[in-house]
């Protein structure tokens, strides 16, 4: 198995949001993606889960099938008005096993119930998702990842607008995933969470600013550089000609 970025460039209307990123993720461990707003963190995760196509370079995911990858988008990108229950949503994590319109068997239901128990939502199975607090909703999304049994777990700001108790409980799940040998890659903004749970950090500022063990990456000098690099780009940034040549 290998999870790596190879000279990855991803653009919107040809303006690169992630620029020539290269490096390899630690397998079976947790890596935080850190960086200011607009640094390209969400763009990077979307390219990794296949929702955005690179302009140049590639994401290498060898030994992983689509079903092995779980992705949790930023809360702002999720439509919670759908009339579905907690069980319905968690059961979508079984999609690869049951097929899009397949019936969820007894074992599927039992796995959903067990996952809800693990995230502290026993008794919420029939609740409509629109009736949940943001912390409860985030627990539901983590339960979906639990039933999916993914080997690569991508989380985009999973604890934004989430209460402290929920954050703590869900961070314990991240710890469990690490112990189970899963690879967790999460965009985070809280320095203490990163230091406590994420041995590795990738610091983004449109480019890779630093990537390695968390204590070597999260230095004041690196953080300043990430802010400078992000700010020196803007939506009128020139198109990248090296990418054109490479394409």
Q: Which C-beta is closer to Mg ion: that of 18 or that of 116?
A: 18
Comparison of 108 and 158: residue with beta carbon closer to Mg ion: 158
Q: Which does 214 bind (CB under 5 to 8 A by kind): ligand ADP, Mg ion, none?
A: none
User: Among residues 140 and 204, whose Cβ is nearest to Mg ion?
Assistant: 204
The window from 31-39, 98-106, 125-133, 169-177 that contacts ligand ADP (CB under 6 A) reads 31-39
Determine, following the binding rule CB under 5 A, whether residue 230 of this chain makes contact with Mg ion: no
Does the footprint of ligand ADP cover residue 119 (CB under 6 A)?
no
| CA 27 to chain CA centroid, nearest Å | 15
CB of 56 closer than 8 Å to CB of 11? no
> Does 147 sit near ligand ADP (CB under 6 A)?
no
Longest dimension (CA), the chain: 57
User: Which of 9, 31, 43, 222 lies at the binding interface for ligand ADP (CB under 6 A)?
Assistant: 43
Sheet of 2-12: strands edge to edge?
A: 15-24, 2-12, 56-62
The piece of 41-49, 123-131, 167-175, 213-221 that touches ligand ADP (CB under 6 A) is: 41-49
Q: Which of 9, 11, 31, 42 binds Mg ion (CB under 5 A)?
A: 42
Give DSSP secondary structure letters for 129-192: GGGS-HHHHHHHHHHHHHHHT-SEEEEESTTTT--HHHHHHHHHHHHHHHHTT-EEEEE---HH
Token pair of 211 as six digits: 């990537």
40 touches ligand ADP by CB under 6 A: yes
Select from 220, 122, 245, 118 the least CA-distant residue to 177: 118
Per CB under 6 A, the segment of 32-40, 103-111, 116-124, 239-247 that binds ligand ADP is 32-40
Q: How far is CA 82 from CA 129, 130, 132, 148, 153, in A?
A: 8, 7, 12, 21, 24
- Under the criterion CB under 6 A, does residue 37 sit at the interface with ligand ADP? yes
Q: Could you report how far apart the first and last alpha carbons of the chain are, in Å?
A: 27
Binding status of residue 17 toward ligand ADP by CB under 6 A = yes
Task: Supply the minimum distance, in Å, between the C-beta of residue 161 and ligand ADP.
Answer: 15
Does the footprint of ligand ADP cover residue 35 (CB under 6 A)?
yes
Q: What are phi and psi of 223, to 5 degrees?
A: -65, -40
Residue 41, both tokens:
């963190």
Contact residues toward ligand ADP (CB under 6 A) are 12, 17, 35, 37-43
Contact residues toward Mg ion (CB under 5 A) are 41-42
């Amino acid at each position: 198995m290998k999870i790596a970025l190879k000279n990855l460039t991803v653009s919107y209307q040809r303006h690169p949001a992630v620029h020539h990123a290269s490096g390899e993720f630690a397998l079976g461990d947790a890596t935080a993606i850190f960086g200011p707003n607009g640094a390209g963190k969400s763009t990077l995760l979307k390219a990794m889960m296949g929702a955005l196509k690179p302009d140049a370079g590639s994401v290498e995911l060898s030994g992983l099938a689509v079903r092995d990858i779980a992705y949790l988008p930023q809360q702002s990108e999720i439509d919670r008005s759908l009339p579905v229950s907690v069980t319905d949503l968690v059961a979508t994590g079984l999609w690869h096993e049951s097929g899009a319109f397949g019936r969820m068997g007894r074992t599927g239901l039992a796995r959903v119930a067990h996952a809800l128990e693990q995230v502290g939502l026993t008794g919420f199975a029939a609740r409509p998702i629109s009736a949940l607090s943001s912390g409860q909703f985030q627990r539901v999304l983590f339960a979906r990842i639990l039933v999916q049994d993914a080997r690569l777990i991508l989380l985009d700001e999973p604890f934004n607008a989430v209460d402290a108790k929920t954050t703590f409980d869900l961070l314990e799940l991240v710890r469990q995933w690490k112990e189970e040998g899963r690879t967790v890659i999460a965009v985070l903004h809280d320095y203490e969470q990163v230091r406590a749970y994420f041995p590795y950090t990738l610091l983004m500022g449109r480019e890779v600013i630093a990537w390695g063990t968390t204590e070597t990456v999260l230095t004041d000098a690196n953080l300043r550089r990430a802010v400078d690099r992000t700010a020196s780009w803007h939506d009128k940034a020139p198109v990248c000609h090296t990418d054109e040549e490479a394409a």
